[in-house]
Amino acid sequence: MSKLLIQGPSRLKGEIRVHGAKNSTLPLMAASLLCDSTCVLHNCPVLSDVKTSEKILQHLGCRTGRSGSDVLIDPRGVEQSDIPEHLMREMRSSIVFLGAILSRMGRAELSFPGGCELGPRPIDLHLSALRKMGVTIQEDHGCLKCSAPEGLKGVQIAFSFPSVGATENVLLAACCAGGTTTITNAAREPEICDLADFLNCCGAKISGAGDSTIVIEGVKSLHGCEHEVIPDRIAAATYLAATAATGGSIILNHVVPEHLAPVLPLFEESGCRFAIHEKEIYMSAPSRLGRIKNVRTMPYPGFPTDAQAPMMAMAAVANGTSIFVENIFESRYKHVGELLRLGANIKVEGRVAVVEGVGRLSGAPVEAADLRGGAALVVAGLAAQGETLVSGVRHIDRGYECLEENLCLLGAQVKRLPD
């Protein structure tokens, strides 16, 4: 496994383009299974999770190809309805294929998903919704055997929590179901809107995406289309955090500023200044950041849990005490122990982390335990004095395209070392 060697501190300065959203690309690839002709997805990032999704599609019978940031998916040869366990274990988002396979094949067999260990992320909301839609599900030693003997039907579904994955699975299952499906307390993330836009372009009838109530009128079939994946708001927030932690300045191209509305005020609170244009954000940071009083992760349009770890690394070098409250995942503070190795002063009690900013961090060997925690270690390493060696880079590669190359474009000294 490769590692990242960071020589710090580096004051980041420059301009980069934000790649397509990982959390949008994966459900879009699953959605291509519903079509009867070829789909082309533009602005697809080169990530290990995207490669895993391609392997899943190929196993199911799709033909796939990539040219630059364009991914072509021809689903006409789909014959399989199962996903091998080793592919399910590679990423947590693999469960999003369930609704699409059921809609296409009327049956599905797969195991529980793997990926980052962030604590319990039960798929009971997915399964209970699909059961309402007429799916029979047998759970046997971590394997799900699903069938819809009489086809999928439109129903009323009310989520107890606005789960992104469950909302996506119902959208995929309901597009070609008989009748109308209504989701209340649906997830409102930009990635949900991107999926609905793609499906509507393919001939679906979805209204209300982005609001808490979504209505899906079932249609007989969907056709392929061309679609551009939205920019990755979490990658954008990570580059902003790295720039802020190093007292630098950055121009982010190809972004949707509204998608970053939950995080930008916290950067401003820390002393950063912004100039925002249609698809561009300019940010300059002070030489020493101020504290962030309170960061609470919440479903969109609240502060995203995926941005918590990189922003905590930024707060670790701020002047004053910042408070973080993690309301989404139980085990999302695994990066804290590694930040302490770099000299951070952080105390965790349950879901609350108290970050007392220090004057400087010192480089040390650290290990990424998950995707966003790994990004936090990179942010901290850029601000630290001396060498920081980050292992567990396979986690980071799941969500950041060409991370070290982009950081070097901004003036950082980062090298990827082979194992």
Helix (H) or strand (E) holding 321: strand 321-325
123 is in an annotated binding site: yes
Nearest to 287 by CA among 316, 251, 249, 236: 249
124 is in an annotated binding site: yes
Instruction: Find residue 347's DSSP bridge partners.
Output: 354
74 is in an annotated binding site: no
Helix (H) or strand (E) holding 86: helix 85-88
Please list the active-site residues. 116
**What is d(CA 41, CA 29) in angstroms, rounded to the nearest whole number?**
8
**What is d(CA 58, CA 80) in angstroms, rounded to the nearest whole number?**
10
9 is in an annotated binding site: no
406 is in an annotated binding site: no
**What is d(CA 415, CA 418) in angstroms, rounded to the nearest whole number?**
10
- φ/ψ (deg, to 5) at 77: -95, 15
328 is in an annotated binding site: yes
**What is d(CA 236, CA 414) in angstroms, rounded to the nearest whole number?**
19
Instruction: Find residue 41's DSSP bridge partners.
Output: 71, 227
Q: What tokens were used for 101? A: 């396979």
Hey, what amino acid is at 43? N
Per the annotation, where are the binding residues? 22-23, 92, 121-125, 306, 328
Per the annotation, where are the binding residues for phosphoenolpyruvate? 22-23
Per the annotation, where are the binding residues for UDP-N-acetyl-alpha-D-glucosamine? 92, 121-125, 306, 328
